[in-house]
Structure 1
Amino acid sequence: MALEDAGRQVDHAFTREDLKGRSFENTFAGATSFLRRRYTKDLAGVDLAVTGVPFDQAVTNRPGARFGPRAIREASALQPYDPPYGWDGFDPLEEFAVADYGDMAFDYADVASVPAAIEAHAGAILGAGARMLTLGGDHSVTLPLLRAHAATHGPLGVVQFDAHSDLWPSGDGRRIDHGTFLYTAVKEGLVDPARSIQVGIRTVTDDYLGVEFVDARTVHERGAAHVAARVRERLGDGASYLSFDIDCLDPAFAPGTGTPVWGGLASWQAAAILRDLAGINFVGGDVVEVSPPYDPAGITAVAGAHVATELMCLLLWPRRGQGG
Structure 2
Amino acid sequence: MIEQPTFATRPAFLGLTSSDPRAEYVIAGIPLDIGVTNRAGARSGPAAIRAASRMLAGNDHPHHWVSVDAMPIADIGDFAIALGDIPRSLALIEQQAAAVNHLLALGGEHGITLPLLRALAKRLDAPLGLVHFDAHADTWGENYGQVYSHGSVFFHAINEGLVDPHRMIQIGIRSPLPRETYDWTVGKGVTILSAQDVHEIGVAATAARIHEVVGHARATYLSFDIDCLDPGCAPGTGTPEIGGLASWQAQALMRRLGGIGFVGMDLVEVAPAYDVSEITALAGATMIWEYLALLRAA
Query: Normalising TM by the smaller chain, what interval?
Result: over 0.9
Pairing partner for 1:234 from 213, 216, 225: 213
Structure 1 residues 125-274: aligned runs within 5 Å: 125=100, 130-153=101-124, 154-170=126-142, 175-203=147-175, 204=177, 205-208=182-185, 209-236=188-215, 237-274=217-254
- Give SS of 1:124's match: coil
Q: Distance in 1 between matches of 2:155 and 2:228?
A: 18
Provide the C-alpha distance between the structure 2 equivalents of 1:27 and 1:215, rounded to a whole number of angstroms: 37
1:42 and 1:65 map into 2 onto residues whose CA distance is 24
* Cα deviation digits, residues 292-321 of structure 1 (max 9, x gap): 000031110010110111122234443xxx
Q: Quote the residue 1:77 is aligned against.
A: 54
1:62 Cα shift? 0.3
Specify the code of the residue in structure 2 equivalent to 1:218: D
Corresponding residue for residue 118 of structure 1: 93
Q: Unmatched 5+ residue regions in structure 1?
A: 10-24, 319-324
SS in 1 for 2:28: strand
Aligned-pair CA distance for 1:218: 1.1
Runs of 4 or more above 4 Å deviation: none
Aligned to 1:20: none
| Contact residue 245 and residue 288 of structure 1 kept, 8 A | yes
Q: Does residue 93 of the first structure (1) align with residue 69 of the second (2)?
A: yes
Give the superposition deviation at 1:247: 0.3
Q: Deviations over 1:107-135 (max 9, x none)?
A: 2143330000000010011xxxx211110
Matches within 5 A, 1:96-111: 96-111=71-86
Q: 1:317 to 1:189 in 2, by over 3 A?
A: farther
2:36 equivalent in structure 1: 59
1:85-125 deviation per Cα after TM superposition (whole angstroms, max 9, x unaligned): 321x122322x211111101222143330000000010011
Closer/same/farther in 2, CA of residues 42 and 202 from structure 1, 3 Å limit: closer
Residue type of the alignment partner of 1:112? P
More relative contact order in 1 or in 2 (CA 8 Å, sep 6+)?
2
Structure 2 distance, partners of 1:285, 1:273, is: 15
Deviation per CA, 1:144-174: give whole Å up to 9, x if none: 0000111122200001000000010149x98
SS of 1:49's equivalent in the other structure is strand
Counterparts of 1:143 and 1:210 in 2: how far apart (Å)? 19
2: CA distance, partners of 1:58 / 1:296: 24
Q: Percent identity?
A: 48
Deviations 1:243-263 (A, max 9, x none): 000000000000000000000
- Specify the code of the residue in structure 2 equivalent to 1:75: A
Aligned to 2:69, what secondary structure does the other structure show? Answer: helix
Which amino acid is 1:309 matched to? W
Q: 1:202 to 1:42 in 2, by over 3 A?
A: closer
- Contact (CA 8 Å) 1:162, 1:248: kept in 2 or not? yes
Q: CA RMSD in A?
A: 1.7
SS in 2 for 1:195: strand
More strand by share: 2
Alignment CA distance shift 1:42-1:191 (3 Å): closer
* Distance (whole Å) between structure 1 residues aligned to residue 252 and residue 276 of structure 2: 26
The aligned counterpart of 2:16 is 37
Structure 1 counterpart of 2:159, one-letter code: K
- C-alpha separation in 1, matches of 2:207 and 2:236: 26
Query: Contact 1:283–1:315 (CA<8 Å) still a contact in 2?
Result: no
Please give the secondary structure, in 1, of the residue aligned with 2:163. Answer: coil
